[in-house]
Amino acid sequence: MRAQGKYCKRGHDVSVTGCYGNNTCKECSKANVQLRRALYGRPPRSAREKERQVEYYYENLDRVRAHKRTDYRRHRSKRLAAVKAFNATTRGKEVHNKANAQYRDTHREEIKKAGRLRAYRTPPEVLDAIVEYYGPECVYCGGDASGFDHLIPMVKGGETSFENLAPCCWDCNRRKGDRPIWTVLSLEGGDALRAS
């Protein structure tokens, strides 16, 4: 007769072997992995095999990358569906949140800098100079300007500077969105924003 305690299905004492969150004994998990490797996969690689694989990878870098690209293209929809399904699970969300937290930890200074750039306010003297240069009308439709537009959007690398700002009404600014100024003006001349 067993002493009182927690035991897995195979009789391992969980207080000794340890247990995963889904009540699987760690010893049983290791045995399952080894069984799966024996049935379906090749045995674990030796250190020399790993070294050979790394050597091959760097000696044939172009060939390996080309193979990966074609393989990805061939199985793209299947892979994306698998990733989407995984991300919908609780485990997928945990992995995603952990990755985000790690990114925030390793790129903390860059994120702070980006936040400072977003929060950066243009000095009033610069705004006055822009209005003096362009006039108080919207540069797109000629109506009353209610703000300023980034000619090259900030998401495309545009800066908040005299050269990149122009007076603009709210409607035209919204219609332009994140498109650069030259793509908007090349659509239909000056009436490009009214058409979109």
Least reliable range by pLDDT among 51-60, 103-112, 154-163: 103-112
Determine which helix (DSSP H) or strand (DSSP E) holds 157, and give its type and residue range. none
Among residues 196, 140, 157, the alpha carbon closest in space to that of 149 is found at 140
pLDDT tens track for 64-111? 999 999 998 999 999 889 888 888 888 878 888 888 888 778 877 776
**Mean pLDDT in residue range 27-52:** 79
Query: Over the Cα atoms of the chain, what is R_g?
Result: 30
Number of domains present in the structure of the chain: 4
Q: Would you say residue 1 has pLDDT above 50?
A: no
185 or 62, higher pLDDT: 62
Query: Which residues share a beta bridge with 144?
Result: 137
**E strand or H helix at 30, and its extent?**
helix 26-40
Mean pLDDT across the chain: 79
Q: Are 140 and 193 in contact (CB under 8 A)?
A: yes
Q: What is the pLDDT of residue 113?
A: 60
Same domain, 140 and 164: yes
As given in the structure block, the two tokens for residue 53 are 């694989």
Same domain, yes or no: 31 and 88:
no
Same domain, 61 and 94: no
Same-domain pairing of 106 and 161: no
1 belongs to a structural domain: no
Say how far residue 187 (Cα) sits from the centre of its chain. Answer: 31
